[in-house]
């Protein structure tokens, strides 16, 4: 993905509790909405989405947040991890 125009990185957040909420959260960053749309329409991306369907139990829940909405809108999508919840 790093070769795609306007990418600003990817974050992968693993499930905190695999039994009750086994979802991964993947955050893709782009410098503007047009570059995000270009990436969403790439043929290779769509090919990988099709290949990946056999690895998941449900369709992805896609949320697009732009600007300050991402930083300041509370969301239950990204779990808060407290230091005492980490198992060493």
68 — phi, psi (to 5°)? -65, -20
pLDDT tens-digit map of 25-59? 888 889 998 999 999 999 998 998 899 888 888 88
Is the pTM higher than 0.75?
Answer: no
More confident residue, 70 or 86: 70
* pLDDT at residue 65 greater than cutoff 70: yes
More confident residue, 70 or 78: 70
Element (H, E) at 8: strand 7-13
């Amino acid at each position: 993905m790093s070769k795609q125009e306007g990418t600003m990185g990817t974050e992968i957040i693993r499930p905190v509790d695999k039994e009750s909420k086994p979802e991964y959260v993947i955050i893709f960053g782009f410098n503007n909405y047009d570059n995000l749309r270009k990436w969403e329409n790439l043929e290779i991306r769509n090919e990988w989405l099709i290949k990946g369907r056999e690895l998941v139990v449900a369709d992805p829940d896609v949320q697009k947040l732009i600007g300050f909405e991402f930083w300041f809108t509370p969301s239950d999508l990204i779990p808060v991890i407290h230091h005492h919840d980490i198992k060493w």
